[in-house]
Amino acid sequence: MASYVLKGAQIVNEGKIFQGEIRIKHGRIDKIASSISPNAEDQVVDLTGKHIFPGMIDDQVHFREPGLTHKARIASEARAAVAGGVTSFMEMPNTVPNALNQTLLADKYNIGQASSLANYSFFMGASNDNLEEVLKTSKRDVCGLKIFMGSSTGNMLVDNVQTLEKLFSRSEMLIATHCEDEATVRARLALFKEKYPADDAPAYLHPLIRNEEACYLSSSMAIDLAKKSNTRLHILHISTEEELALFDHTKPVKDKRITAEVCVHHLWFDASDYETKGNLIKCNPAIKDARHKNALRKALNTGELDIIATDHAPHTWEEKQQGYWSAPSGLPLVQHPLLILFELAQEGVLTLEKIAEKTAHAVADCFQIEERGYIREGYWADLAIVDLQKPTLVEKSNLHFQCGWSPLEGKTFSASIDSTFVSGHLAYSNGNFDMSQLGKRLLFNRD
């Protein structure tokens, strides 16, 4: 494996930005210093004018393989992730078949090992009737247990209270939840279908159907269950101002038993965007009105929201062009989360140091990931090299995920991802991928 000395960059890490140099050796960060003299075997990379961030760890993606490969594959979406400075991902179990037993979970890891340019982990799925399989899940090399407390694919809606209580009380895994109250959503869906029986209903109905009440009822229920059993709970994609009051902002992530994630689309879009984007931004939980977006942005700095993810969920263009009632929920985002956040930094929403914290440090702390998420000597070299002065125009020709469209098309971001190191391998540079070395399976330090 090649050795590198990275020179001339500003390093963004652990609350600081500083001029420094990094040696990468055997896939790891060998040395960080103000100046490093290269050895004969070192490749010197001049990064003058650029910034080095810890690679983003995206704790929520849907890469669609197996079973939904007309939408995406692990190989294609992992390449898109790496092009966006995302060096590790955690993928959800609602593929086909759902990853509801250890054999099916192992199948996904085999696909990741054979094809993923990024580092990878896969969630075990929960249903109303697979508790014994859930309890076999390894804490060492599986990121967590995913529970859909709201609509999902196949047999993955867990709506039996007794089952939920058993999962929360008996699982030693981190439990990640999708929280929307199913009864509320179904009642409101019936109400609006009566008003708009044809499939040309407007997309702006989505946050009226999947409303604040549905989110709050389900999140508060999950938190009550977790407190009762002292479960390690992580609530995904918080989308409302009301839910923020449920979370503790006084402790660091590593000391919390209950943590919260926000996704980039809930920080970037709001309900006014349905007029131009329509079903392209239809997702669950729904993008809601601007007061929620503004509250979520603020909570990144006050501490209620611990980490930032994408919930990358691609569908084909044809699927998204159906009428509102038929079009599936989800949007492709894994190539652009850091660019979105750098834009928010320019607006004063958060700092570069906070971006590194919420996309890497805090994710590593939340999931107890071994030797990743920080730029530290001895850690794996997962690095995103960023040019904050070089704009990026999002257009079809430079999209790497399989579905080939983005709700961000036509947007020029002020920054660009120059290159990406994954476990010390220069996996992406100057728009090109090097597939000669693939990503590694994430490991977790858990008692």
CB 168 within 8 A of CB 175: yes
pLDDT digits (tens, 9 = 90+) for 244-253: 999 999 999 9
pLDDT class for 149, splitting at 50, 70, 90?
confident
Q: What is the pLDDT of residue 154?
A: 56
Residue 343 region by backbone torsions, left for phi larger than 0, else alpha for psi between -120 and 50, else beta: alpha
pLDDT digits (tens, 9 = 90+) for 205-232: 999 999 999 999 999 999 999 999 999 9
Percent of the chain whose predicted confidence (pLDDT) is above 70: 99
Task: Specify the range with the lowest mean pLDDT, choosing from 20-34, 57-71, 190-204.
Answer: 190-204
- CATH fold group of domain 56-367: TIM Barrel (3.20.20)
Q: What is the pLDDT of residue 151?
A: 56
Distance, CA of 290 to CA of 176 (rounded, Å): 26
pLDDT digits (tens, 9 = 90+) for 360-380: 999 999 999 999 999 999 999
pLDDT class for 12, splitting at 50, 70, 90?
very high
pLDDT digits (tens, 9 = 90+) for 374-422: 999 999 999 999 999 999 999 999 999 999 999 999 999 999 999 999 9
Q: Produce one character per residue of 71-100: b if its CB has 16 or more CB atoms within 10 Å, e if not.
A: bbbbbbbbbbbbbbbbbbbbbbbbbeebbb
- CATH fold group of domain 3-52+380-401+411-433: Urease, subunit C; domain 1 (2.30.40)
Domain ranges of the chain: 3-52+380-401+411-433, 56-367
- Which residue has 């709001």 as its token pair? 270
Is pLDDT of 123 > 70? yes
Mean pLDDT confidence for 165-179: 95
Task: Specify the range with the lowest mean pLDDT, choosing from 19-23, 101-105, 193-197, 258-262.
Answer: 193-197
Is pLDDT of 344 > 70? yes
Q: Pick from 115, 111, 106, 52: which is nearest to 78 by CA?
A: 115
Is pLDDT of 200 > 90? no
Between strands 51-54 and 383-387, the pairing is antiparallel
Round the average pLDDT of the chain to a whole number and report it. Answer: 96
The distance of Cα 201 from the centroid of its chain, to the nearest Å, equals 30
